[in-house]
C-alpha cells in the first residue's frame, strides 16, 4: 500500500472519477470550490493545538490540500476544537462558532471531545462536544498525529464534495436543543441568541 | 536558630526532613510572627507556595507556607491547622505581594477566606456556584453524572481487563513454546553428542 504523500495524493484524486450525474453542475462546482479552500481558524483549545503547527507548516504542509489558516472567525470555514474543552473554553467556542459565516464546519480532535477522555470525571470539562455545537468530523487519538488530522480533513473534504457536511444547518434547525445543553453547563448567560433579530429589528437596520 | 524557634513558639520538635528542608507546626495565631521572624532575621525571602491539604476526618485544613532562604540552600515549611467550617486565615499579602494569587487559588478551590486580600475573585473557574471543587466533600462523580450523560461504548468493545489477561496468557504460552523449541534442539544435540562419545 502506498504511504505518505502518494497515498494522500491518491485520496485527493479519488473523487475525480466519481459519478456526479445526480448533482447539478453548479452544486458540484460550489462544493468543489469549498472543499479546495478550507480556511481554518487559528484557535487552539487544550493540548491538541500543539499538533496543528506541524500540520500547517512545511513538514506536513496542509496548504497543498487547500487548507490554511485564517485570522478571524469571520474569515474562517473550519473551527478545530483540539482536545479537552473546559466550561470556560466552551463559552468562547460557542461565541466564536456563532460569529463564523456559513458554510462552517467543526472538526473535533482527540478522545476528550468524543467522550471526555482522561477527563471523564472532571468537574470542569464537557464530555460530548456534539451536545453543545454540531460536529462534522471527529478525529480520535490522544493526541492525533498530523497524519490523522490530515486524514480527518480529507474525510471532511469528501463530505463537503458530496454535499453531506451540513452541520451549520443542523445547528440552526435544532438550536433549542443546543441552547438547552449549553445553558445546562454554562448557566443562563451564554451568549446572544443565535439569530439576526437583534440586528434587523432591535434598532439595528429598520 | 532551631532552639530559638522551639523556645519562643513552644512548638514540638522541628522536623528536619532533609539537610535542606525543615518543617515546623505552629498555631494559627503565631504563624505570622514566625514567618516575620524567618523573613526578617534569617533571610527566608522567597515564598514558594501556599498549599492546603484537606484532612476531612480530623476536621481541619493544613495550610503550609513554604519559604526558601536567600542563597537557596534551605527551605522551611511552616504549617498551621485551621478549621474546615468557615475556614479563615489572615492574608500574607502585606509581607509577600505574590501571595495574592496563591490565596486567590485557595479561595476558589477550597473556599478559604483571606481577610486583607482585596482581590479574591475567581481565577480559573467561571460562575461556580457549587461547593469548591477541591474540598473532599464535593462528590465529583455525582456532579458529572448530574450534568452529563456518557456516550455508550462501541458494539464491538471488549472488557479491557479480560482482554489483557487473555493476551498475557497467549504471550506466556508463546514464550513457553519458544523456550521448549529452544530446549529441544539442545537436548537433541546433547543426545547426539552422547551417542558420538559412545562411538
Q: Give me the total of CB pairs closer than 8 Å, taking one residue from chain A and one from chain B.
A: 39
Q: Residue B182 is placed in which grid cell?
A: 529452544
Residue B152 lies in a domain: no
Q: Pick the range with the lowest mean pLDDT from A10-14, A33-37, B55-59, B99-103.
A: A10-14
Residues B109, B87 share a domain: yes
Burial degree of B81 (CB within 10 A; 0-12, 13-18, 19+)? middle
Q: Which of A193 and A186 is assigned the larger pLDDT?
A: A186
Q: Residue A92 is placed in which grid cell?
A: 468562547
B147 vs A114, A115, A185: nearest CB: A185
Q: Give contacts of A 100-139 with B, CB under 8 A.
A: 114-116, 120-124, 126-128
| Closest residue in chain B to residue A87, using alpha carbons only | B126
Count structural domains, chain B: 2
**pLDDT in the model for residue A206:** 45
Residues B64, B12 share a domain: yes
pLDDT bracket for residue B189 (50, 70, 90): low
Residues B97, B183 share a domain: no
Is pLDDT above 90 for B103? Answer: yes
Question: Which chain A residues are closer than 8 Å to B136 by Cβ?
Answer: none
Could A127 and B140 be called an inter-chain contact, meaning their C-beta atoms sit closer than 8 Å?
Answer: no
| DSSP string of B166-183, one letter each residue | HHHHHHHHHHHHHHHHHH
pLDDT digits (tens, 9 = 90+) for A77-97: 999 999 889 998 998 899 889
**pLDDT in the model for residue A201:** 52
Task: Kindly provide the b/e burial profile for residues A130-164, where b requires at least 16 CB atoms within 10 angstroms of the residue's own CB.
Answer: bbbbbbbbbbebebbebbbbbbbbbbbbbbbbeee
pLDDT digits (tens, 9 = 90+) for A18-77: 666 666 778 888 888 888 899 999 888 888 889 989 999 998 888 888 898 898 998 999
Residues B104, B7 share a domain: yes
Domain extent listing, chain A: 21-200
Would strands B75-83 and B60-68 be described as parallel, antiparallel, or unpaired?
antiparallel
Residues B171, B136 share a domain: no
Residues B196, B103 share a domain: no
Prediction ipTM score? 0.75
Residue B75 lies in a domain: yes
Question: Which chain B residues are closer than 8 Å to A123 by Cβ?
Answer: 133, 138, 140, 143-144
Residues B58, B82 share a domain: yes
Nearest-Cα distance to chain A for B146, in Å, is 10
B147 vs A114, A120, A184: nearest CB: A184
Residues B194, B126 share a domain: no
pLDDT digits (tens, 9 = 90+) for B117-137: 888 888 888 888 889 999 999
Is pLDDT above 90 for B176? Answer: yes
Could B126 and A88 be called an inter-chain contact, meaning their C-beta atoms sit closer than 8 Å?
Answer: yes
Residue B44 lies in a domain: yes
Residues B197, B173 share a domain: yes
d(CA B19, CA B65): 18
**Mean pLDDT, all residues of chain B:** 86
Residues B134, B64 share a domain: yes
d(CA B94, CA A73): 44
Could B151 and A88 be called an inter-chain contact, meaning their C-beta atoms sit closer than 8 Å?
Answer: no
Residue B33 lies in a domain: yes
d(CA A206, CA A191): 23
Residues B198, B174 share a domain: yes
Looking at the DSSP assignment, which residues form a beta bridge with residue B64? B51, B79
B151 in Cβ contact with A120 (< 8 Å): no
Residue B94 lies in a domain: yes
Record: fold of A21-200 = Rossmann fold (3.40.50)
Question: Which chain B residues are closer than 8 Å to A184 by Cβ?
Answer: 147
**Which domain range does residue B6 map to?**
2-147
| Those residues with Cβ within 8 angstroms of residue B166's Cβ, 6 or more apart along the chain or in another chain | none
Looking at the DSSP assignment, which residues form a beta bridge with residue B50? B65
* CATH number reported for the structural domain that contains residue B64 in this entry: 3.30.460.80
Residues B178, B108 share a domain: no
Question: Which chain A residues are closer than 8 Å to B140 by Cβ?
Answer: 121-123
**pLDDT in the model for residue B175:** 94
Could B150 and A184 be called an inter-chain contact, meaning their C-beta atoms sit closer than 8 Å?
Answer: no
Q: A74: left (phi > 0), else alpha (psi -120 to 50), else beta?
A: alpha
pLDDT digits (tens, 9 = 90+) for B10-69: 666 778 888 889 898 888 888 888 899 889 988 899 999 999 999 999 999 999 999 999
- pTM value is 0.77
| Closest residue in chain B to residue A132, using alpha carbons only | B148
Amino acid at each position: 500500500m502506498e504511504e505518505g504523500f502518494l497515498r494522500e495524493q491518491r485520496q485527493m484524486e479519488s473523487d475525480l472519477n466519481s459519478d456526479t450525474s445526480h448533482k447539478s453542475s453548479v452544486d458540484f462546482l460550489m462544493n468543489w470550490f469549498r472543499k479546495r479552500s478550507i480556511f481554518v481558524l487559528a484557535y487552539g483549545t487544550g493540548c491538541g493545538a500543539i499538533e496543528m503547527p506541524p500540520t500547517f507548516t512545511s513538514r506536513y504542509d496542509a496548504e497543498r490540500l487547500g487548507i490554511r489558516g485564517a485570522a478571524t472567525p469571520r474569515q474562517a470555514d473550519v473551527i478545530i476544537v483540539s482536545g479537552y474543552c473546559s466550561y470556560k473554553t466552551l463559552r468562547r467556542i460557542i461565541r466564536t462558532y456563532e460569529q463564523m459565516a456559513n458554510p462552517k464546519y467543526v472538526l473535533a480532535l482527540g478522545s476528550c471531545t468524543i467522550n471526555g477522555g482522561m477527563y471523564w470525571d472532571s468537574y470542569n470539562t464537557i464530555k460530548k462536544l456534539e451536545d453543545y455545537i454540531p460536529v462534522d468530523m471527529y478525529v480520535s487519538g490522544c493526541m492525533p498525529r498530523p497524519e490523522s488530522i490530515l486524514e480527518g480533513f480529507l474525510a471532511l473534504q469528501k463530505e463537503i464534495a458530496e454535499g453531506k457536511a451540513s452541520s451549520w444547518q443542523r445547528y440552526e434547525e435544532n438550536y433549542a436543543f443546543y441552547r438547552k445543553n449549553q445553558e445546562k453547563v454554562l448557566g443562563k448567560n451564554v451568549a446572544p441568541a443565535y439569530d439576526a433579530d437583534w440586528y434587523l429589528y432591535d434598532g439595528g437596520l429598520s | 536558630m532551631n532552639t530559638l524557634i522551639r523556645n519562643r513558639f513552644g512548638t514540638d520538635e522541628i522536623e528536619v526532613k532533609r539537610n535542606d528542608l525543615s518543617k515546623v507546626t505552629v498555631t494559627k495565631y503565631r504563624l505570622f510572627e514566625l514567618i516575620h521572624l524567618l523573613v526578617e532575621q534569617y533571610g527566608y525571602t522567597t515564598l514558594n507556595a501556599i498549599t492546603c491539604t484537606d484532612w476531612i476526618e480530623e476536621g481541619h485544613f493544613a495550610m503550609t507556607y513554604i519559604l526558601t532562604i536567600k542563597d537557596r540552600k534551605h527551605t522551611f515549611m511552616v504549617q498551621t491547622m485551621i478549621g474546615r467550617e468557615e475556614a479563615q486565615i489572615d492574608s500574607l499579602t502585606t509581607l509577600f505581594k505574590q501571595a495574592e494569587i496563591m490565596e486567590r487559588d485557595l479561595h476558589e478551590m477550597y473556599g478559604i477566606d483571606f481577610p486583607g486580600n482585596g482581590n479574591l475573585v475567581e481565577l480559573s473557574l467561571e460562575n461556580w456556584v457549587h461547593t469548591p471543587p477541591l474540598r473532599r466533600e464535593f462528590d465529583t462523580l455525582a456532579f458529572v453524572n448530574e450534568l452529563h450523560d456518557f456516550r455508550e461504548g462501541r458494539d464491538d468493545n471488549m472488557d479491557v481487563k479480560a482482554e489483557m489477561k487473555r493476551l498475557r496468557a497467549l504471550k506466556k504460552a508463546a514464550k513457553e513454546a519458544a523456550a521448549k523449541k529452544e530446549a529441544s534442539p539442545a537436548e537433541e544435540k546433547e543426545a547426539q553428542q552422547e551417542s558420538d562419545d559412545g562411538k
